[in-house]
Structure 1
Amino acid sequence: MISLTSPVETWAHRIPAGVKLLALSALTVALFLTDRPGVLALALLAILALYLSAGLAFAGQGLRHLRMLWPFLLLIALWHGLTGQAQAGAAIALRLLAALALANFVTMTTRLTDMIAVLTWLLAPLRRLGLPTRTIELAIAMVLRFTPMLVENGQRLALSWRARSRKRPGWRIVVPMAALALDDADHVAEALRARGGILNDIPDGRD
C-alpha cells in the first residue's frame, strides 16, 4: 500500500498534525463564507504559494495529485454555464479546488500514524463511554492508505487498455477496477483476521 505522505521533506512536516488539521478545518469553513469568485481565486493563489514555499519538487508532486479533479471541475463549469449561473459555477469550482488542495497539502506533510494519533485523542471521550472506536480508526486508516492505490490501479488499467486499443478507456475500465478493489479488500480482510485484527469479530457473510 502507498502512503500519501510526500517523501520531500518540508517545513510543514515539522508542524504537529493536530495543528495542521485544526487549521485545515478552520480554513475550509472560511472558504464557505464567501461566494465571490475573485476572493476564492485569491485564496487559491495563496494556497499555490503555500505549495511553492515547500519547493518546486513538492509543488509539482502536489499538483499532479490534483490533476484528477479537472473532469469534475469542467462538468461543474459546463452545467452552470448552460443554466446561466456561470458566477455560481466558478465559485463552486474554485472553492472545491481550494479545499481539496488544502487537504492534499496536509496529507502530503503529515504521516498517517500522526493523523491516527490525533483521531485516537479525539475519540477518547467515546471510549470512556464504553463505545468501540477501533473500527472507526481502522476504517479511516484504510481509506487514506487505499486511495492512492486505487488511483494507481486505474492508471495501470488505462495504460493496458491503450496498449490494446485506440479508443479511450473511459467507462470500460470501471468494472475491472471495481473487481481489483474488491479483491484487494478481501486480501486485506484475510490478513487482518490472520493477525488477530478486529475483523475476527465481524461476520464475513460466508457462514
Structure 2
Amino acid sequence: MNTAGLYVPGTSLPYRMTAGGKLLVLLAVITVLLVLGNPWVSLGAAVAVVLLYAVFGLAGHLWHAFRPVLLFLAAVGVFHVLFNDVETAVRVCAQLAAAVLLAGLVTRTTRVSEMLDLFERLARPLRVVGVRSERVALVLALTIRCVPLVAESWRSSREAYMARGLRGGAHRMVVPVIVNLIRSSEALGAAMNARGVD
C-alpha cells in the first residue's frame, strides 16, 4: 500500500529508516530552518534536499514533488519582494521549498501501511479519553484513498465531457464528479457494513 500512489520502491537509506524516524528528521529540519531564519542556510537546505533526491535514486520524481507548489512559491516570493525585501522572499521560499521537497521524499520512501501503523501507535494514549486508535488509522487510510479517487473521478468526468464534443469551463464537471464520489462513498459504506465495520 503506498502513500496516495507516491511510494517508489527502493533500498537506499530512507527506505531503511522507520516512518517515525523520517518524520522526526522532517520536523527537526523545518524547526532548525525556522529558528535560524537565515536565507542562505534555508537556500542551502533546499539545494541539499534536491541533491538527496539524486543521491537516493529519486531524481526523476523531483519535478513531480515540486510542481504542485511552484505557482504558490512564485506568488509568495512576489508578495515578499513587493512588501518586504528580497532577502525575506528568498528565506521564506527556500524554507517552503525545502519542507515540501523533504516531505515529498518521506512520502516516496514510506509505505502507507507503515505510516498508518505509526499514527495508530501515537493515538493509543488517547484511549483514556475514549479515542479508538484503530479508528484513527482507518480514517487516515480512507482520507489517503480519497485523494486519488477524486483525481480519477475528475479525469473520467472530463474524458466523458470531451467525448460528447462539449467545451467550456471546468465548473460544468463539478456535478458529475460529486455524483461519482457519492456513488463511490455509498459503495464503500456498503462494503464496510458487510465486513462488520461499525
TM range (shorter): 0.7 to 0.9
- Offset of residue 150 of structure 1: 3.6
Q: Distance in 2 between matches of 1:155 and 1:66?
A: 22
Q: How does 1:88-99 map to 2 (within 5 A)?
A: 88-99=88-99
Q: Is the 8 A contact 2:150 2:181 kept in 1?
A: yes
Describe the superposition over 1:24-43 as per-residue Cα deviations: whole angstroms up to 9, x where unpaired. 22122222113332211100
Q: TM-score, normalised by structure 1?
A: 0.74
> Given the superposition, is the C-alpha separation of residues 166 and 100 from structure 1 closer, same or farther in structure 2, using an over 3 Å criterion?
same
Question: What is aligned with 2:107?
Answer: 107
Tell me if 1:74 matches 2:77.
no
- Offset of residue 9 of structure 1: 4.5
Question: What is aligned with 2:146?
Answer: 146
Q: Distance in 2 between matches of 1:108 and 1:141?
A: 16
Q: Is the 8 A contact 1:116 1:141 kept in 2?
A: yes
Q: Which moved more, 1:186-195 or 1:68-77?
A: 186-195
Question: Where does structure 2 lack aligned partners over 5 or more consecutive residues?
Answer: none
> Given the superposition, is the C-alpha separation of residues 110 and 187 from structure 1 closer, same or farther in structure 2, using an over 3 Å criterion?
same
Counting helix residues as a fraction of each chain, which structure ranks higher? Answer: 2
Question: What is aligned with 1:10?
Answer: 12
Amino acid at match of 1:72: F
- Offset of residue 136 of structure 1: 2.1
Q: Distance in 1 between matches of 2:74 and 2:159?
A: 23
User: Over the residues paired in the alignment, what is the CA RMSD in angstroms?
Assistant: 3.1
Question: Where does structure 1 lack aligned partners over 5 or more consecutive residues?
Answer: 201-207
- Offset of residue 151 of structure 1: 4.4
Q: Is the 8 A contact 1:11 1:54 kept in 2?
A: yes
Q: Distance in 1 between matches of 2:81 and 2:170?
A: 24
Aligned residues: 195
- Offset of residue 109 of structure 1: 0.6
Q: TM-score, normalised by structure 2?
A: 0.77
Query: Which of 26, 29, 32 is the aligned partner of 1:30?
Result: 32
Describe the superposition over 1:66-88 as per-residue Cα deviations: whole angstroms up to 9, x where unpaired. 21111211221222233244432
Amino acid at match of 2:48: A
Q: Is the 8 A contact 1:154 1:177 kept in 2?
A: yes
> Given the superposition, is the C-alpha separation of residues 31 and 3 from structure 1 closer, same or farther in structure 2, using an over 3 Å criterion?
same
SS of 1:32's equivalent?
helix
Amino acid at match of 2:34: F
